[in-house]
Amino acid sequence: MADSRDENVTWLTQEAYDRLKAEYEYLSGPGRVDIAKKIEAAREEGDLRENGGYHAAKDEQGKMEARIFHLRQILDNAQVGEAPKAEGVVGPGMTVTIRFVGDDDEVTFLLASREESGAPIDVYSPKSPLGAAINGKKIGEKATYSLPNGRQNTVEILEAVPYIGN
Asked if the model's pLDDT at residue 73 lies above 80, the reply is yes
Domain boundaries, the chain: 10-80, 94-162
pLDDT of residue 4: 43
pLDDT of residue 42: 86
Pick the more confident residue, 47 or 23.
23
pTM: 0.53
Q: Can you give the three-state secondary structure of 84-108, one letter per residue?
A: CCCCCECCCCEEEEEEECCCCCEEE
Query: Mean of the per-residue pLDDT values for the chain?
Result: 83
What is the greatest pairwise CA distance in the chain?
A: 67
Asked if the model's pLDDT at residue 3 lies above 60, the reply is no
Collapsing DSSP to helix, strand or coil, 61 comes out as helix
**Domains 10-80 and 94-162 agree in fold:** no
Fold of 10-80: Helix Hairpins (1.10.287)
Fold of 94-162: Chitinase A; domain 3 (3.10.50)
Q: What sign does the dihedral 68-74-77-81 (CA atoms) show? A: negative
Asked if the model's pLDDT at residue 41 lies above 70, the reply is yes
pLDDT digits (tens, 9 = 90+) for 93-107: 788 899 998 888 899
